[in-house]
A = this chain, B = another copy of it.
């Protein structure tokens, strides 16, 4: 299997990206990786490994770039060229820790959508507190004004992914809503509820935002606006709370000493709340596997994003999604 990596995207690029790629090829002799980016910076990090190739380019998209403009202007950006390798059939999946919006745009321009899917969705895995297995949230911010049919498509894509990649039989799929009962919510969620109830998924109904971290569902479906609000809110409340605890633990010498003893315990929690550790986010609905690793990824996070991409390819998720959606549409037409 051959993967294309944007070696220049992310806060610690190219060092941690290449380091992660090197670890991954060492662990899997069937894997080769094409690193796209500045050869002068990449080469010294590869240990001349035979299954690490380099495609040189000087151009890259910054995290602050306006996505559509950047993809249109920077035709030789590392991210764009990596996607092109998959488009041309020379690689099977793309991994980037760069600008999320640009990756989505470049993916749409480059490989296009899966037939039967209207809009791609961004799907990170978020933490849960009890078993720590996490849940897939989609859409987390790709498509701001979603339609009910699109939420249904997210549900199907999420369910297939969790079943095939995470190996969970009959994953529980829920709709993010303001109440658990049927009939709750806005026009969009009411209509999506009806559609999801008739879909070939294990739909468990609505989930409230207060229960998300308790792990009540494996796949949580939302429009991109709501999904993004909740994603950033979980992150923000977690961080605000941790900083508040830290503040409380410095109010006196006694508190400070107590703090020193307690922090090691809290570190585990901070890590749990840091959703970057749950692998990359998938860009579902594009006609090739595209994994968005977190911007702050270190080599370990990159290795786990590579693993994700490998299963994505091996399980042929893109084909499975296309087949399921087309079959469903056929049934509706009949």
Binding site for B on A (CB under 8 A): 129, 141, 144-145, 176, 178, 185-187, 189, 208-214, 223-226, 228-230, 232-241, 243-245, 247-249, 255, 258, 261-262, 265-266, 268-269, 272-273
Contact A236 B265 (CB under 8 A): no
In whole angstroms, what is the CA distance A333 to B57 when docked? 57
In whole angstroms, what is the CA distance A176 to B228 when docked? 11
User: Which residue of chain B is the closest to A223 with respect to CB atoms?
Assistant: B186
Contact B225 A244 (CB under 8 A): no
Contact A212 B236 (CB under 8 A): yes
Contacts of A144 in B (CB 8 A): 178, 185-187
Chain A: interface secondary structure? helix
In whole angstroms, what is the CA distance A127 to B248 when docked? 16
Contacts of A233 in B (CB 8 A): 209-210, 212, 230, 233-234, 237
Name A248's contact: one of B178, B230, B269 (CB within 8 Å).
B269
Name which of A187, A241, A255, A261 has the most chain B CB atoms within 10 A of its CB: A241
CB distance from A228 to the nearest CB of B (A): 4
In whole angstroms, what is the CA distance A272 to B226 when docked? 25
Contacts of A258 in B (CB 8 A): 258, 261-262, 265
Contacts of A176 in B (CB 8 A): 229
Contacts of A272 in B (CB 8 A): 244
Name which of A226, A232, A243 has the most chain B CB atoms within 10 A of its CB: A232
Contact B232 A248 (CB under 8 A): no
In whole angstroms, what is the CA distance A239 to B214 when docked? 10
Contacts of A189 in B (CB 8 A): 225
Given contacts A210-B236, A233-B233, 15 further A-B contacts (CB under 8 A): A186-B225, A189-B225, A209-B233, A211-B236, A212-B233, A214-B236, A229-B229, A233-B234, A234-B237, A237-B238, A248-B265, A248-B268, A249-B265, A255-B265, A258-B258
Contacts of A225 in B (CB 8 A): 178, 185-186, 189, 226
Name A235's contact: one of B129, B210, B230, B248 (CB within 8 Å).
B210
User: Which residue of chain B is the closest to A249 with respect to CB atoms?
Assistant: B265
Contacts of A208 in B (CB 8 A): 232, 236
Contacts of A226 in B (CB 8 A): 225-226, 229
CB distance from A44 to the nearest CB of B (A): 37
Name which of A255, A262, A268 has the most chain B CB atoms within 10 A of its CB: A262
8 A–B pairs (Cβ distance < 8 Å), ordered by A: A145-B187, A209-B228, A211-B236, A213-B236, A226-B226, A233-B233, A233-B234, A262-B262
Contact A244 B212 (CB under 8 A): no
User: Which residue of chain B is the closest to A257 with respect to CB atoms?
Assistant: B261
CB-based closest 8 A-B pairs:
A210-B236, A209-B233, A210-B232, A213-B240, A144-B186, A237-B237, A178-B228, A186-B225
Contacts of A230 in B (CB 8 A): 209, 229-230, 233
In whole angstroms, what is the CA distance A141 to B178 when docked? 8
